[in-house]
Structure 1
Amino acid sequence: MRRRSSVALSAAALLLLAGCAAPERAIHLGSTAIGIDNPRSGGFSALEVTEGGARLIAVSDRAVLLRARIEREGARITGLSQVALTDLPGRDSTVPENSDAEGLATDGDRLWISYEQRHRVLVLPGGRELPRPPDTRVLPPNRGLEALAIDARKDLYALPEWPVDGGFPVYRFDGASWAVAGILPRRGRFVPAGADFGPDGALYVLERVFVGVGFRSRVRRVTFGDGTIAAEETLLSTPPGRHGNLEGIAVWTDAGGTLRMTMIADDNFMPFQRNEIVEYALP
């Protein structure tokens, strides 16, 4: 009886791992730890890569902005240099619910930063607060505007971590007001963690789920039609523990014309979680 149970459990485990190891279209180029000796370094929840992969901007869920140069050996990231950590406007370590920055987007001159707990989007420089997207009143405190992205027309897009009516609304801000650009279908238990528009005009959505032994990550490429989502495809679906708690994503083209996807992990300032940068090549 024990042997049969053991065999059954082993078979079930194999089936589970097989389900996790879905075919991947993205090619892993490497991962590296973020070795910044500063107590404010950690909790990175959003990412932008600029200057053709030479520099990055990231924000932490303690309202700290990171700017740095990306060091590489060939195609692989080896570390960061020229590191600068600055506090975001209004950062208050005594009121953490006001400092929980989760999303980041930039057009080169301005930064947009989304916060959960107290749901809002700020524009830098200046710290102006945008009108709030619809439905934010129904979002739980820790499941707010998790992802931000900006398209070629400089329209801003935001995704919450909490589903509304069975899917994740993709809010679009045209400079005056918010509207729903489409509903991203919820597939499995994954929830949005980050987003970025690639040079191809598609929206890349990073999702995650905690499965007890680690995090799984998934990336979907989304294209929009006339006021709705026209198509979606899964480019990456990782097994548990391959990476840390990936929350930020940037999609860009390198000098050779390869589409790359750079992601950053939120270690929640916990010593047993990974503070890392991960990079993939995309088809």
Structure 2
Amino acid sequence: MRRCLASLALLPALLMGLCSPLSAQPRLVEESNLRLRSEDSNFGGISGLVMGADGASFVAISDRGRFVTGQITRQDGVAQSAEITALMPILDSKGHPLDGYNTDAEGLAALPDGALIVSFESNHRVMRHDGLDAAGTFLPSTEAFGVLQTNSGLEALASDAAGMIYAIPERSGALTRPFPVYRLIDGVWDDSMTLPRRGEFLVTDADIDGSDLYVLERYYLPFGGFQSRIRRFTIADDALVDEVELMSSRLGHYDNLEGLDVWRDAAGILRVSVVSDDNFRFYQRNQLVEFRLEN
């Protein structure tokens, strides 16, 4: 009888040991959800995001061909308020503001040398800007960009610490078909890497931290709103492995989340900042939402 009681006494500890791996599943925890506003009538349609190294500033892009800058007030690392400080036109290769068919900027990323790269749909291309007021420089193209759908082009753009550029289109072409991941290697776009598709979610942005690729996706249900998801993969040579779903929102909880940036604060905490595209519609919102990674 004593032996049985001793075994029972150990049961809670054994159960805790069995459950601990499940509780250690990494996830993103929302820390703040701010509304972005501006009196400038050109403000809206935010589609890409790059955070400043200290988390106190950001650069975003509008799908009407503008850079958007802002400042963030924080307390204990958590965003308390955000202010839009400037809107300025994205310049073409001749130094003129983008117009017409060329304005639909979707992806934004920062290179290790501080330059910004912007991807566009409609006229599918990637441009480099050495500053917000600098003329754009064309990056190499590929025939694959020319067959992308008009409103579903290079939606996600990222760069790793070595400066390799990754670009992912919004659509894969079929529910069972993975998304192509284009990587600019020695001036040529390589398409040997793919991103597995899970359900009806479409890619909206991506970023890289170390060897991890973070992907922001969305699903839209008419009259139901948007559902957002963030997945993480490990980059292993030409493959994406160790898939983890870090966040999946309920339908309508967030607006149209389209821009993502992954960064670490002074304490080394990994934070994920995302912004939404209001499509210049009065019933939608430009949001800045931030998450903290919990392992």
TM-score, normalised by the number of residues in structure 1: 0.86
Q: Which amino acid aligns with 1:148?
A: L
Deviation, 1:250, is: 0.5
Confirm or deny that 1:149 pairs with 2:169: no
* Runs of 5+ consecutive residues of structure 2 not aligned to the other structure: 1-24
Report what 2:167 is aligned to. 158
Report what 2:4 is aligned to. none
Deviation, 1:24, is: 8.0
Report what 1:138 is aligned to. 147
Q: Is the 8 A contact 1:149 1:157 kept in 2?
A: yes
1:207-236 CA deviation, whole Å, 9 max, x = no partner? 001022110000011112121222211100
Question: Whole-Å Cα distance in 2 between the matches of residues 60 and 79 of structure 1?
Answer: 20
Query: What pairs up with 1:128-277 in 2 under 5 angstroms?
Result: 128-164=137-173, 166-198=177-209, 200-212=210-222, 213-277=224-288
Question: Whole-Å Cα distance in 2 between the matches of residues 136 and 92 of structure 1?
Answer: 20
Question: Whole-Å Cα distance in 2 between the matches of residues 185 and 268 of structure 1?
Answer: 28
Deviation, 1:162, is: 1.6
Q: Is the 8 A contact 1:68 1:82 kept in 2?
A: yes
Question: Whole-Å Cα distance in 2 between the matches of residues 55 and 134 of structure 1?
Answer: 37
CA RMSD of aligned residues (A): 1.8
Question: Whole-Å Cα distance in 1 between the matches of residues 259 and 170 of structure 2?
Answer: 13
Against the structure 1 CA distance between its residues 122 and 92, is the aligned structure 2 distance closer, same or farther, given a 3 Å change threshold? closer
Runs of 4+ in 1 over 4 A off after TM superposition: none
- Between 52-61 and 83-92, the greater mean CA deviation after superposition: 83-92
Question: Whole-Å Cα distance in 1 between the matches of residues 44 and 168 of structure 2?
Answer: 23
Report what 2:115 is aligned to. 110
Question: Whole-Å Cα distance in 2 between the matches of residues 223 and 113 of structure 1?
Answer: 24
Deviation, 1:81, is: 3.8
| Partner SS for 1:135 | helix
1:239-261 CA deviation, whole Å, 9 max, x = no partner? 01111100000111112221100
Deviation, 1:270, is: 0.5
Q: Is the 8 A contact 1:155 1:175 kept in 2?
A: no
* Runs of 5+ consecutive residues of structure 1 not aligned to the other structure: 1-22
Deviation, 1:61, is: 0.2
Question: Whole-Å Cα distance in 1 between the matches of residues 201 and 129 of structure 2?
Answer: 30
Report what 2:22 is aligned to. none
Report what 2:80 is aligned to. 78
1:47-77 CA deviation, whole Å, 9 max, x = no partner? 0111221111100000110122211233432
Report what 1:32 is aligned to. 34
Q: Which amino acid aligns with 1:115?
A: F
Question: Whole-Å Cα distance in 2 between the matches of residues 205 and 163 of structure 1?
Answer: 14
Confirm or deny that 1:120 pairs with 2:140: no
Deviation, 1:134, is: 4.7
Question: Whole-Å Cα distance in 2 between the matches of residues 63 and 169 of structure 1?
Answer: 25
1:49 to 43, 48, 51: 51
What percentage of residue pairs aligned between the two structures are identical? 38
Q: Which amino acid aligns with 1:141?
A: T
Count of aligned pairs? 258
Q: Is the 8 A contact 1:24 1:237 kept in 2?
A: no
Q: Which amino acid aligns with 1:99?
A: T
Q: Is the 8 A contact 1:133 1:171 kept in 2?
A: no
Confirm or deny that 1:99 pairs with 2:103: yes
TM-score, normalised by the number of residues in structure 2: 0.83
Question: Whole-Å Cα distance in 2 between the matches of residues 67 and 38 of structure 1?
Answer: 13
Q: Which amino acid aligns with 2:151?
A: N
Q: Which amino acid aligns with 1:101?
A: A
Deviation, 1:82, is: 6.7
Q: Which amino acid aligns with 1:34?
A: L
